[in-house]
């Protein structure tokens, strides 16, 4: 839920899916939400099944400007431990593109789970991805980006914890977007009652170098989740900045498992 390609690859670890991977093995239509947090979990959609994550985020920046960001993540189970991610965003940001609504860059990623139940790393996965400069208007970076995200998922009783760390390397000379950017996240999902749960996360983007660099940011995300059906999860909540030029935001969205291709 951020302006970094790594964040676009990651959008849950909510309480309603604390047993996401085991549920997927027993019921391949069980949703594997990565919404609403920036962090992603190590679980993957069942082979041959397709799942859609869709949401909207309304931002209010420190100067009072407002923008809208709608991330779309289509996930396809590729193998028992692998998942293809296809990501694109609809963006309305008057700061860079006036009143127009634009489609952001296209990102393709492949999440691959390397370990299950490791005593230290838990469920451990990697997520390499490539972003192509396909955005309309001025909302894209105009660069081709390569990124790699490391994912460690754990469970402590009823609480799910997902830890992510990653980096992005961009083409270009750094005048429009930093050539290197990094991200870290720590997300926690827990049950409240029945199908209702909640998720809380702290995430950050360390500062980047000039000429297009910016100071580092960190923010807190919190909100409820609802498992409406085995194949449908809903979420909503807010994001508040802790440090740096991170906007205040509210969000809402859903995760829908379409079933077998």
Tell me whether residue 34 is exposed, middle or buried, using C-beta atoms within 10 angstroms of its C-beta: 0 to 12, 13 to 18, 19 or more.
buried
pLDDT tens-digit series, residues 232-251: 999 999 999 999 988 999 99
Cα 76 from Cα 123, distance rounded (Å): 19
pLDDT tens-digit series, residues 43-70: 999 999 999 999 999 999 888 889 999 9
φ, ψ for residue 58, nearest 5 deg: -110, 115
Token reading at 44: 């993957």
Length of the chain: 261
pLDDT reading at 79 higher than 50: yes
Cα 8 from Cα 27, distance rounded (Å): 27
Exposure class string for 166-180: b at 16+ Cβ within 10 A, else e: bebebebebeebbbe
- Give the right CATH number for 5-260 from 3.40.50.300, 2.40.160.40, 3.40.50.2300, 2.102.10.10: 2.40.160.40
């Amino acid at each position: 839920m951020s302006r970094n390609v790594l964040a676009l690859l990651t959008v849950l670890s909510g309480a309603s899916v604390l047993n996401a991977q085991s549920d997927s093995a027993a019921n391949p239509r069980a949703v594997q939400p990565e919404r609403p947090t920036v962090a992603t979990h190590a679980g993957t959609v069942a082979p041959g099944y397709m799942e859609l994550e869709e949401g909207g985020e309304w931002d209010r920046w420190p100067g009072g400007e407002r923008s809208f960001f709608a991330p779309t993540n289509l996930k396809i189970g590729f193998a028992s431990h692998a998942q293809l991610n296809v990501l694109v965003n609809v963006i309305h940001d008057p700061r860079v593109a006036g009143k127009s609504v634009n489609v952001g860059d296209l990102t393709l990623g492949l999440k691959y789970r390397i370990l299950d139940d490791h005593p230290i790393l838990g469920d451990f996965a990697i997520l390499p991805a490539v972003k192509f400069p396909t955005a309309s208007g001025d909302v894209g970076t105009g660069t081709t980006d390569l990124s790699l995200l490391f994912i460690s998922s754990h469970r402590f009783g009823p609480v799910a914890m997902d830890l992510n760390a990653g980096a992005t390397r961009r083409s270009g000379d750094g005048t429009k977007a930093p050539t290197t950017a990094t991200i870290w996240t720590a997300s926690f999902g827990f049950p409240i009652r029945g199908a209702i749960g909640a998720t809380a996360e702290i995430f950050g983007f360390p500062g980047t170098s000039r000429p297009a660099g910016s100071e580092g940011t960190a923010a807190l995300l919190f909100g409820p989740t609802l498992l409406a059906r085995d194949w449908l999860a809903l979420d909503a909540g807010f994001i508040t900045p802790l440090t740096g030029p991170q906007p205040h935001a509210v969000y809402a969205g859903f995760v829908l498992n379409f079933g077998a291709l």
